[in-house]
Structure 1
Amino acid sequence: MTPVTAYKDKHVAVFGLGGSGFATAQALVAGGARVLVWDDNEHAREKARAAGLRIENLATIEWRDFTSLVLSPGVPLTHPAPHWTVLKAREAGVEIIGDIELFCRERRKIAPKSPFVAITGTNGKSTTTALVSHLFRSFGFAVEVGGNIGTPILALQPPAQDRVHVIECSSFQIDLAPSLDPSVGILLNVTPDHLDRHGSIENYAAIKARLVRNADQAVIGVDDKFTLAIADELRKAGRPLTLVSVTQPTIENGVVLDGPHIMRRAEGRSSEIADLAGIASLRGAHNGQNAAAAVAALGSLADDLDRLRKGLQTFPGLAHRLEEVGRKGKVLFVNDSKATNADAAEKALLSFDKVFWIIGGRAKQGGIEPLRPLFSKVVKAYLIGEASEAFAQTIGDAFPFEICGALETAVPSAARDAEASDIAEPVVLLSPACASFDQFSDFEKRGDRFREIVKALLAAETQV
């Protein structure tokens, strides 16, 4: 835990007692703050009460007595409408912040020069967070990793000179962290997402930009118009900046991908840093971007090429992100359940040539129409969930498909067809381009179920 001593004796209200809210309340209390907590969910309140936290309905308190409202990132700050606690806090002139902001303030108080790498982007931030932490560990550092990727930031050990914090930040968390100032800030990309919570893509991009604006060293992927504009803004302001690109291998300065090779560009000249060919956990250009950004985050450490290359080669990857879950004969099964939108599924389709594609779930705006240029990579599709009929209409006669309803039907059907094909290396790919909420509570449960079905198929083959 990171006790928030910067708030000693201050009055703080905490709304939302999920994982991060609960950890935040405990960290504030441990630091000496006077804390009231509330959640509309009775079970969450009972858990907090059992932990000794002070429960009080924030609708009935005198807000002017409080220094801050600490809001769970899942609670609307602006769109579609501000939460009632936000309105009450604003009316009383009470600041509204989140757990990332509390960490930043505590870091400035107790260890202002401690290494703090903050990572965001519409896609790729979890893999990049895991890879950055893996690389720092491979260089012998003590590493704390968390934030949006799993462990709440205030549940981690406190900032220290000999401890690296590698933190994934969602747009919701950044929106609640007005003084976010990492030693390294990584912005990977910006594509439309969470517009219901931010109102417009322009506002969403502006929030993402906050993560790098005050970083000691900004690392920015410049392969979309939003991040390119953000990089231009920082360059004009004279901020320390490293560019990353997978589409512009000849940029003047930065870290780029040229085929499978990560290259350092300096004054127009290239030198090879690493070769990603054969590293399954970093397959595809999108993972090339993740790896290039991670290399840039290391700074001068990346000059030790032998240790860096070993670190990249030993990266195990993350579950549900182009995760190779097994082979049945010539057929490779890949779990990309984290692909909850078309942009993420595009990365998967670009990574393979002949795909037996399992798609569907609860569709997001635009469906799979943006993927039409990649339809030639699909041998056949297997449709599941609510989006089946809409996706069938989009596909039309572009390639064969079956409406399977559920994974339990789709996976065996795809495996059968892939095995019977004359393709040398067919891939059964779960990359749904949809949210999971029609059939599963989250993408992890969906990916876990895919993995279970594949393992059952492999087990049945060994028993024959």
Structure 2
Amino acid sequence: MIPVTSFAGKTVAVFGLGGSGLASCHALKAGGAEVIAGDDSADNIAKAAQAGFTTADLRTISWSNFAALILTPGAPLTHPAPHWSVLMARQAGIEVIGDVELFCRERRRHAPDAPFVAITGTNGKSTTTALIAHLIDVAGYDTQMGGNIGTAILSLEPPRMGRVHVVEMSSYQIDLAPSLDPSVGILLNISEDHIDRHGTLEHYAAVKARLVAGVQPQGTSIVGVDDGWCRNIADRLDQAGKRVVRISVKNPLPDGIYVERETIVQAAGGARNEVARLGGIGSLRGLHNAQNAACASACALAMGISTDILQNGLRSFPGLAHRMEQVGRRGNVLFVNDSKGTNADAAAHALSSFADIFWIAGGKPKQGGITGLAEYFPRIRKAYLIGEAAQEFAGTLGERVPHEISETLDVAVASAARDAEASGIADPVVLLSPACASFDQYRNFEIRGTKFRDLVTAMPGVKPVVQL
């Protein structure tokens, strides 16, 4: 835990008592602050009270003694309308911040030169965060990974020299961290997302840009430039005198890092140097993972990690659960769990990564269905459709893709495994990438992915995939 000393002797309101909110309460109390905790959920309030914190309905008490409101990222700061607690804080004239801001203040107070890597982007944040943490760990550092990827940032060990904090950040978290100042900041990409919480794509992009704009003076801003929003952000950072490393997986760059024929290349001053090779690394298959790997490699190089250690780290990266996770092999059939592919855009990344696919798809459908995936239909040898979307997806696939309505995941896995083995194809892939939410049959995508994994590993003859 990181004790928050910046509010020692002061009273702080904390709204939102999930994992990060409770962690903030503990950290503030450990640092000497008095905490008054609130939530819209009676269950969360009860948990905070059981943990020994003073709880209250923050709408009914005076805010005159509060020094700040620590707000959960789940509560809206600006759109579609500020949360009632935000309005009360503004009326009281106190700041509204989040747990990332508390971390930044503690780091500046106690270890301002401690390495701090922050990662954001519309897609690929979690994989890139986990990969960077893995590379840094392989290089021998004390590595702390958290933030949006799962572990609350204040639950990590405190900043100090030799210890690297690798933190994934959503736009919501960035919005609540006005003095965010990583030593390495990474912006992967920007596409339309979370407009309900930011109002416009312009505002969403501006929030994301703050992570790389706030990098410390001697630090490094790493920006993927394969979309127009990020290209403009990189140019503005350049003009502001920031050290910018541009990343592309679509085009060679005269100055930056790009991917060409599964090779990560660094270009500078007319020179071109091979940094690492991605060929044969199953956990980093696909163009989207090439971008993740290129950004992670740029971070490793910025931290002085050698190319030998970098290559070894890339090859030994196991990947993340439910994100193109190689569950196992039976004979020549590879089973891949991409349960995180909860919409068509995400499923497109998985479908583009393989040639002969026995595709398990369906669940609770999202707007647009799978009509946008038509370019990948030639890669699909057969589809196995489950959940509420089965009939809709069957209509979209029509006569272009052989398919069956399996209804449930256990039937789909058994049928796909049988057909893949009988196909005579050299390297068939049974791929769960549902292009749907899970909520019709499973509480979340993790439970759905775990069920797939359990079904596969229970089959006789399935062997784990060994990452080289």
- The residue that corresponds to 1:364 in the other structure is 366
Specify the code of the residue in structure 1 equivalent to 2:322: H
Please say if residues 302 and 308 of structure 1, whose CA atoms lie closer than 8 Å, have aligned partners that are also in contact. no
In 1, the alpha carbon distance for the partners of 2:153 and 2:295 equals 22
Q: Work out the CA distance in 1 between the residues paired with 2:250 and 2:460.
A: 38
Partner of 1:164: 164
> In structure 2, what is the equivalent of residue 256 of structure 1?
258
Please name the residue that 2:375 is paired with.
373
1:105 maps to 2:105? yes
Cα gap change, 1:393 to 1:96, in 2 (>3 Å): farther
Name the residue aligned to 1:284: 286
Change (3 A) 1:308 1:302: farther
Of the structure 1 ranges 416-425 and 143-152, higher mean CA displacement relative to structure 2 is found in 416-425
Distance 2:395 2:93 in 1: 52
Do the aligned residues in 2 keep the contact of 1:251 with 1:268 (CA within 8 Å)? Answer: no
Quote the residue 1:218 is aligned against. 221
- Once the two structures are superposed, the pairs formed by residues 188-267 of structure 1 within 5 Å of their partners are 188-215=188-215, 216-248=219-251, 250-267=252-269
1:424: how far off? 1.5
- The equivalent of 1:350 in structure 2 is 352
* Aligned-partner residue type, residue 370 of structure 1: G
Equivalence for 2:421 = 419
Q: Distance in 1 between matches of 2:130 and 2:113?
A: 22
Q: For the residues of structure 2 that align with 1:458 and 1:373, how far apart are their CA atoms?
A: 35
Runs of 4+ in 1 over 6 A off after TM superposition: none
- Which residue does 2:432 correspond to in 1? 430
Q: What is the deviation of 1:182?
A: 0.6
The count of corresponding residues between Structure 1 and Structure 2 is: 460
Q: Deviations over 1:42-101 (max 9, x none)?
A: 222222112211111101121232121111111222333322212222222222111011
Separation in 2, partners of 1:388, 1:194: 27
CA distance in 1, matches of 2:200, 2:441: 29
Q: What amino acid maps onto 2:108 in structure 1?
A: R
Kindly indicate whether the alpha-carbon contact (under 8 Å) linking 2:120 and 2:186 is maintained by their aligned counterparts in 1.
yes
Shift of 1:198: 2.4
* CA distance, structure 2, for counterparts of residue 268 and residue 397 of structure 1: 51
CA drift of 1:112 comes to 1.1
Q: 1:246-289 CA distances to partner (integer Å, 9 max, x unpaired)?
A: 101x2111111111111111123321111111111111221111
Counterparts in 2 of 1:122 and 1:300: CA distance versus 1, 3 Å? closer
Alpha-carbon deviations, 1:130-163, whole Å to 9, x = none?
1111111111111111011111000011111221
TM-score normalised by the chain length of structure 1 = 0.95
**Match of 1:64, SS?**
coil
Q: How far is the alpha carbon of 1:233 from its aligned partner?
A: 1.7
Q: Is the 8 A contact 2:220 2:302 kept in 1?
A: no
Query: How far 1:422 moved relative to its partner?
Result: 2.9
Q: 1:175 to 1:388 in 2, by over 3 A?
A: farther
Query: Secondary structure at 1:238's aligned position in 2?
Result: coil
* Alpha-carbon distance change, 168 to 387 in structure 1, aligned in 2, over 3 angstroms: same
Secondary structure, aligned partner of 2:234? helix
Change (3 A) 1:82 1:384: farther
AA partner of residue 457 (structure 1): M
3-state SS in 2 of match to 1:397: coil
Determine helix, strand or coil for the equivalent of 1:429: strand
| Alignment check: 8 A CA contact 1:295 1:302 kept | no
**Residue in 1 that maps onto 2:455:** 453
RMSD of aligned alpha carbons: 1.7
1:399 is matched by which residue type in structure 2? Answer: V
User: What SS class does the counterpart of residue 457 from structure 1 fall into?
Assistant: coil
Distance 1:268 1:361, change over 3 A: farther
Gaps of 5+ in 1: none
Alignment of 1:10-89 (within 5 A): 10-89=10-89
In structure 1, C-alpha distance between the alignment counterparts of 2:264 and 2:462, rounded to whole Å: 41
Q: Distance in 1 between matches of 2:453 and 2:119?
A: 28
Return the TM-score normalized by structure 2.
Answer: 0.94
Tell me whether 298-307 or 272-281 shows the greater mean CA deviation: 298-307
Per-residue displacement from partner, 1:278-337 (whole Å, max 9, x unpaired)? 111111221111111111112355562222211211111111111111122221110011
Corresponding residue SS for 1:363: coil
Query: 1:17-45 CA distances to partner (integer Å, 9 max, x unpaired)?
Result: 11100000110111111210012222222
